[in-house]
A and B are shown apart, each in its own frame.
Chain A
Amino acid sequence: MYYEFYASVKILSGDNAIFNIPNELERVGCKSPLIVTDKGIVDAGLIEKIEIAFRDAKRDVYAIFSDIPQETSVSSILRALEIADKKGVDGILAVGGGSVMDSAKLISVMLSCGGCSIRDLVGVETMPERVVPLVVVPTTCGTGSEVTSVAVIFDQESGRKMAFAGSSLLPDVAVLDGEMIASLPVKLTASSAMDALTHAIEAHLSIQSNPISEALSEKAIAMIWENLPDAINRRKSKRDINEVRMNLLNAATMAGMAFSNSMVGIVHSLAHAVGSVLHIPHGEAVMLFLVPGLELVTQKTPEKMAKLLFSVPGIREFSGNDMDRANRFLFLLDRFVKDVRSAANIPCSLKDYGFDESVREKVVRLAMLDGSSIFSPLSLTQDVANRMIDRVL
Chain B
Amino acid sequence: MICEKIKYKESVLRVLFYVFRKAMVFLSCRDDKIRCVMGEIPDGFVFSIKVQYANIKLSMIKMSDGFIDAQDSKADLELIFVNPCSALLVFSGILSQHEAFAQHRIFIRGDISDALVLTSAIERLQEVIFPSFVVKRLKKDAFGKEFMDVLEMLRFYSSLALIKTRG
Interface residues in chain A, defined as those with a beta carbon under 8 Å from any beta carbon in chain B: 2-4, 122-126, 160, 162-163, 165, 206-208, 263, 300, 368-371, 373-379, 381
Contact = CB atoms under 8 A, between A and B. Distances in A.
User: From DSSP, what is the main secondary structure of chain A's interface residues?
Assistant: loop
A370 to B, nearest CB: 7
Contact of A160 (B80, B103, B111, B141): B111
B141 A381 contact: yes
Contacts of A379: 139-141
A126 B108 contact: yes
B110 A375 contact: no
Interface of B: 40, 78, 80, 98-99, 101-104, 106-113, 115-117, 119, 139-141
Contacts of A263: 102
Contact of B103 (A3, A162, A206, A369): A3
Contacts of A374: 98, 101-102, 116, 119
27 contacts: A2-B103, A3-B102, A122-B109, A123-B107, A123-B109, A123-B112, A124-B106, A124-B108, A124-B112, A125-B104, A126-B78, A126-B80, A160-B113, A165-B112, A206-B102, A207-B99, A208-B102, A263-B102, A369-B113, A369-B117, A371-B113, A374-B98, A374-B116, A374-B119, A376-B140, A378-B141, A381-B141
- Kindly list the 7 A-B residue pairs having the minimum CB-CB distance in the complex, ordered from nearest: A208-B102, A371-B112, A124-B108, A379-B140, A369-B113, A123-B109, A125-B107
Contacts of B102: 3, 206-208, 263, 374-375
A59 to B, nearest CB: 39
Given A123-B78, A126-B78, A369-B117, 17 more contacts: A3-B103, A123-B111, A123-B112, A124-B101, A124-B106, A124-B112, A124-B115, A162-B111, A207-B98, A207-B99, A300-B140, A373-B116, A374-B116, A378-B140, A378-B141, A379-B141, A381-B141
A370 B40 CA distance: 13
Contacts of B101: 124, 374-375
Nearest to A121: B109
